[in-house]
Structure 1
Amino acid sequence: MPAVLLTYQVEAIELSHTTPFLLIEKSRRTGISYAFAADAVLTASPAVNPQNVYYIAYNLDMTREFIGYCGEFAKAFDQVAPQPSEILFDDGSEKGIKALRIDFPSGKAIVALSSKPRSLRGMQGKVIIDEAAFHDGFEELLKAAMALTMWGGSVVVISTHDGADNAFNTTIEDVRAGKLEGEVMRLNLADALAQGLFKRICLRTGQIWTPELEAEWERALRKRYGDGAAEELDVIPARGSGTYLPRSTIEAAMSADLPVVRLRCPDGFELRNEHVRQDYVAEWLEQHVRPLLDTFDQNRSTFFGQDFARSGDVSPIAFGQYDERLNLICRFVLEMRNVPFREQEFILNWILARVPLFTAGKMDATGNGSAMAEFAQQTWGADRIEALKATESMYLAFMPKLKARLEDRTMLIPRDEGVLEDLRMIKLVRGVPMIPRGSVNSKADGAKGKRHGDVAIALMNLVAAADEDVVPIEVRTTGQRRTLAGEMANTGRGFGTVQRRKSWGDY
Structure 2
Amino acid sequence: MASEVLLPYQRRWLLDRSRFKIGLWSRQTGKSFAGTLEAVIDAVERPGTLWVMLSAGERQSRELAEKAKVHLEAMRQVGEWMESRFFEGGEAVTQLEIRLPNRSRLIFLPANPRTARGYTGNVFLDEFAFHQDSHAIWAALFPIVTRRPDLKLRIMSTPAGPQGKFYELWEKGGAMWSRHKVTIYDAVRDGLPVDPEELRQALADEWVWRQEYLCEFLSEEEAFLPWSLILEAEAREDPRGDWDPDRAYLGMDVGRHRDLTVLAVLERVGDVYYLRLLEVLERTPFAHQEARLHALLPRVRRACVDATGLGEMLAENARRAFGYKVEPVKFTPEVKADLAQRLRLFFEDRRVRIPSDRALREDLHSVRRIVTPSGNVRYDAERSERGHADRFWALALALHAAETRRGPVEYRSVARRLFAGWKGAF
Q: TM-score range by the shorter chain?
A: 0.3 to 0.5
Larger Rg, first or second structure (1 or 2): 1
* Structure that is richer in helix per residue: 2
Q: TM-score, normalised by structure 2?
A: 0.47
